[in-house]
Structure formats: structure tokens, C-alpha cells
Amino acid sequence: MFGLADIVKFLFSFFLIMPIITLIHLSGHIFFVSIFGGTEKKIYIGCGKKLFSFLTIEVRKYYFWNGSCEFKNLKHDNRFTNMMIYIGGSLFNLISMLLVYSLIYQDIIEGSVVWYQFIYFSFYVMFFSLFPMYFADGSPSDGKAAGLALKNQLEEKVTDDLFVKKQDDMD
């Protein structure tokens, strides 16, 4: 049965766990952008008006609703590096899930609804990020973009959560 305690758990997950999972996902993209020499990197958590910034992370009013990251230029720009950038977010989600699971399994942290929700929502984000599809706005999912990048068929380096700043965007 679904009760009041379940609503509290859901709200906790929605307003705290999901933004953390989004940050982990976007950090995966930015990690690979950094490895391959990307510049002007920025992570946006949520949407709407800017609430505050910390280093290269900007938190928006609706911090619990999605997120994105952007960068400019890549020193190493080829099909493989682009594919790694696209799957980097999901790779970080997978690593964080495996890390939490192994810490629970080894009794280093206690299994609780918080950690199980973390694993559940991480899997959710990873699955739908890798699912090879186009979104309603025409942008590819990370999985679709990775496949297109490997086939050298990706015209723009834009997905639902990853944007490449062009020179004319900077002027």
C-alpha cells in the first residue's frame, strides 16, 4: 500500500537524490571532455533562473528537473573521443551504482531506502540515457549520439544534456 511515509520517501528522492544523480551523470560527460582537452566547461543543475554558482557548476531554480553541461573545443576530436564523452555520463552512473552496492554488500554502509533509491534512480537515468532514440525536440539520447559518432553520422554535437559552444555563440 502507498502511504504518507512513501510520499515523504518519494519527495526526498525527487528533491535530493535525483539532483545528485544528475550531477554524477553530467560529471561523467565533463570528465571525458577534460581528458580530451575541452575548454570552457560548465555544468547546469536544473533549469530556470540561476540560483547560485560554485566553481563551474551552476544551480538553477528548478534544480531537481534535469540538467545539462556544455564545453567548447576539443584538443582530441574524433569518433572515439566523442563516443566516450556521450557515454561518460552513464559510465559514471554505473560506477556510482556499483560503488554503493559494493559498500552495502561489504557492510561498510548500511543498506537503506536512501541507497536503494540511489541505485534505482541511477539505473533509470543510465538506461534512458543509453537507450538509442531521438527526443521530441530532435536531439539524440547519449546512446544514439554515441552510435552516430562512431559511424561518423553525427552532424551536431548536441544531445538532451550535452552542448558544444560554437564560436558564434561566444560573440
Average model confidence (pLDDT) across the chain: 90
pTM comes to: 0.90
The neighbour count for residue 12, using CB atoms within 10 Å, is 14
In sequence order, what are the residues at sequence separation of 6 or more whose Cβ sits closer than 8 angstroms to the Cβ of residue 4?
A: none
Residue ranges of the chain whose pLDDT lies below 50: 170-171
- Cell (9 digits) for 132: 538509442
Instruction: Supply the pLDDT for residue 161.
Output: 80
What pLDDT digit, counting tens, does each position of 79-90 carry? 999 999 999 999
Instruction: Supply the pLDDT for residue 3.
Output: 79
Instruction: Supply the pLDDT for residue 39.
Output: 93
- Cell (9 digits) for 25: 551523470
- Distance (Å, whole) CA 40 – CA 142: 21
- Distance (Å, whole) CA 130 – CA 123: 10
Three-class secondary structure of residue 78 per DSSP: coil
- Cell (9 digits) for 98: 556499483
Instruction: Supply the pLDDT for residue 168.
Output: 53
Hey, which residues does 42 pair with through a beta bridge? 70
